[in-house]
Amino acid sequence: MDKIFVIEDDVGLRGELLKLLASYGYACESSNDFQNIVPAALAAQADLVLLDVSLPYYDGFQVCRELRKSSAVPVIVVTSRSSEMDELLSMNLGADDFVAKPFNPQILLARIAAVLKRARPAAHEDEPLRYRELAVDVWRSTARGPAGETELTKNELRILTVLLGKRGRIVSRDELMNALWQSDEFVDDNTLTVNINRLRRKLESIGAADYLATKRGQGYRI
Amino acid sequence: MSLGEFLADRLPTVVLTLLAAAFGFALLVTLGEGTYAGGYLAGAILLAQALAFALEYWQRRRFYGEVERGMARLDKKYLISELLPEPGFAEGRIFAELTREADKSMCDAVAASERASKEYREYIETWVHEIKTPISAARLMLENDPGESAKPLSRELTRIENYVEQALYYSRSGGVERDYRIRETTLRALVASALKKNAELLIEAGASIRTEGLDRTVYTDAKWIDFMLGQVLMNSVKYRRGPLEISVVGAAAGGAVSLTVADNGIGVPAGDLPHIFEKGFTGENGRRGAKSTGLGLYLCKKLCDKMGLAVSLASAPDAGTRVTFAFPTDESRRMET
């Protein structure tokens, strides 16, 4: 389980961030002692640091510089100052990515996953996503079921991972489309229908026919 | 100042001088000194006064002439005291002194007002940055505990975000500072970012997007373009008619790269087109239904002007609207990066 250290002084936002990250399977830690935030972050031995820019005592840029002096931990800067200048400054100070407030939670999660993936040694293989007898290998873009294995297109993979990420919950068509848009696939309603139908046929072909349920007028569920 | 005006101002002196000359002439003639002596005295009086007038006229004409020429050269007229020549006469010195005082007070007032407007802009910037934290928290709450009203609430949050961003760029568009940053990017990156940011509203409007020719390099401030494309896309959503179709097309022509966003919406009446980029102009469509602030396109134009981009709009009722941004690609832009 990856551990994320959250440096954010706004109590409300921090609470919700910790909740979000925990529900997506990350271990989280944070601290309220902003005078000693750098030692606290280092002591946590996190896999990633989420760093706000406007903080008491030291600003995020200073914290980033201090962290870099003794650690190569990936840092994502989260800031409400969304000018090109701030972005440049964070990157020059060794931050790995930059997310502007107010962020879309799904985008933040995608960035975190991407930075963690980049930072991880190549030898460390990722666990496939599993559900009942279905196993989805995200990096190879394949799905394995009781009756065999099939390759997935980029869109099919994205749809499947979103549904698996929210297993048991109904995911609306709009939500699925939004997820596709966020990975640069600006599909429309018809394309989504085509993709879903193809995905359903592929799941049938590997013996996972009843996994993808359609809820009329509401969306889909796994 | 013409000679006539000059003499008219000195009418009492002229009359008194003439009277003095006439009196001197009469006195000498009465005393039996003869008309020759009388005429000589009268002539001397008149000549002396005429010379005095000529000197005075020349002095003033030179001084005020220089003031007027200085004024014509000045962009900010109230700075004239800096260009005042040294007047060689008392009235001129009083005039110059008063002008200098008035100018100083004017400069102070202008500086105070500029400071106040700068402080206000800074406050808006700070406020916009502050408000983003609670908006982020609210978004996360909706993600963590999605309830019945999660979707409409999320849509309202998006609207709030759009208005907040508009306030930020409104305040930036007014400043004289160069607060953008030109960097190399591609049309594809700019368009993708804007589409993603407005995905929720576009998807809800059932938009189908077609892109073409976006693999072109441009030099611009990505954040500013992001905002402007957002304004244009929101207009397409607001003024849609039937299933929304948006095409985003990049092209290169005459040393410039252009980006055109075209929709199949209700379009703009011909009479409204000349005013489309004016501040607060809502036009026929704005009056008829959709909420319009008359700010979106105004800000696009203003920000484009500031950044050296061209923006144009073509439209006809029921024939959709096309907004085109033209990016300069010349070397000078590259040098700025």
Domain with B141, as residue range(s), is: 122-172
Q: What pLDDT is stored for residue A128 in this prediction?
A: 73
Among B107, B132, B162, the domain-final residue is: B107
Is a pLDDT exceeding 50 seen at residue B162? yes
Is a pLDDT exceeding 70 seen at residue B176? no
Q: A86-105 b/e with 16+ CB inside 10 Å = b?
A: bbebbeebebbbbbbbbbbb
> CA–CA distance from B133 to each of A186, B44, B127, B152 (Å)?
28, 90, 11, 20
Among B56, B78, B107, the domain-final residue is: B107
B24 domain residue, yes or no:
yes
Partners of A30 in the beta sheet?
A: A6
Q: What percent of chain A has pLDDT over 90?
A: 20
B178 domain residue, yes or no:
no
Instruction: Please provide the average confidence, as pLDDT, over all residues in chain A.
Output: 86
Is a pLDDT exceeding 90 seen at residue B111? yes
B221 → chain A, closest CA residue: A84
Do residues B220 and B299 both lie within one domain? yes
Q: What pLDDT is stored for residue B22 in this prediction?
A: 93
What CATH number is given for A3-119 in this structure?
3.40.50.2300
Which candidate in B125, B140, B163, B224 is best for mutational testing of the A interface (most A CBs within 10 A)?
Answer: B140
Task: Tell me the chain B residues in contact with residue A98 when contact means C-beta distances shorter than 8 Å.
Answer: none
Is a pLDDT exceeding 80 seen at residue B335? no
B177 domain residue, yes or no:
no
Among B62, B84, B107, the domain-final residue is: B107
pTM of the model: 0.76
Q: Is A126 on the interface with B (CB under 8 A)?
A: no
Tokens of B103: 């100018």
Of A12, A84, A182, the CB nearest to B196: A182
- Specify the number of domains making up chain B: 3
Of B134, B183, B203, the CB nearest to A177: B203
CB contact under 8 A, A16 and B141: yes
| Interface size between A and B, measured as CB pairs under 8 A | 87
B112 domain residue, yes or no:
no
Instruction: Return the half-sphere exposure (C-beta side, CA atoms, 13 A cut-off) of residue A195.
Output: 22
| Higher pLDDT among residues A93 and B178, named by residue | A93
Lowest mean pLDDT among A138-152, B126-140, B200-214, B308-322: A138-152
CATH of the domain at B218: 3.30.565.10
Tokens of A109: 């999660």
Of A19, A103, A177, the CB nearest to B144: A19
pLDDT tens digits, one per residue of B224-270: 999 999 999 999 998 998 899 999 999 987 778 999 999 999 999 99
Number of residues written out for chain A: 222
CB contact under 8 A, B143 and A20: yes
- The ipTM assigned to this model is 0.76
Do residues B145 and B222 both lie within one domain? no
Distance from CA of A60 to the nearest CA of B (A): 15
Is domain A129-221 classified as CATH 3.40.50.1980?
no
Q: What pLDDT is stored for residue A147 in this prediction?
A: 84
Do residues B160 and B201 both lie within one domain? no
B116 domain residue, yes or no:
no
Return all residues near A170 (Cβ < 8 A) that are at least 6 apart. Answer: A215, A218, A219, A220, A221
Residue ranges per structural domain of chain A: 3-119, 129-221
> CA–CA distance from B19 to each of B31, B38, B42, B137 (Å)?
18, 13, 10, 94
Domains A3-119 and A129-221 share a fold: no
Q: Is B337 on the interface with A (CB under 8 A)?
A: no
Segments in A44-143 forming alpha helices (H): 60-70, 84-92, 105-119
> CA–CA distance from A179 to each of A174, B173, B210 (Å)?
9, 33, 18
Pairing of strands B183-186, B245-253: unpaired
Q: What pLDDT is stored for residue B331 in this prediction?
A: 54
Task: Tell me the chain B residues in contact with residue A82 when contact means C-beta distances shorter than 8 Å.
Answer: 223
Residue B21 to residue B191: CA distance in whole angstroms: 90
Is a pLDDT exceeding 60 seen at residue A113? yes
Residue B209 to residue B206: CA distance in whole angstroms: 10
Q: What percent of chain B has pLDDT over 70?
A: 96
Which candidate in B125, B128, B133 is best for mutational testing of the A interface (most A CBs within 10 A)?
Answer: B133
Residue A106 to residue A181: CA distance in whole angstroms: 11
Q: Is B175 on the interface with A (CB under 8 A)?
A: no
Return all residues near A201 (Cβ < 8 A) that are at least 6 apart. Answer: none
pLDDT bracket for residue B334 (50, 70, 90) = low
HEC profile of B70-81: HHHHCCCHHHHH
Do residues B148 and B247 both lie within one domain? no
Do residues B76 and B17 both lie within one domain? yes
CB contact under 8 A, A13 and B192: no
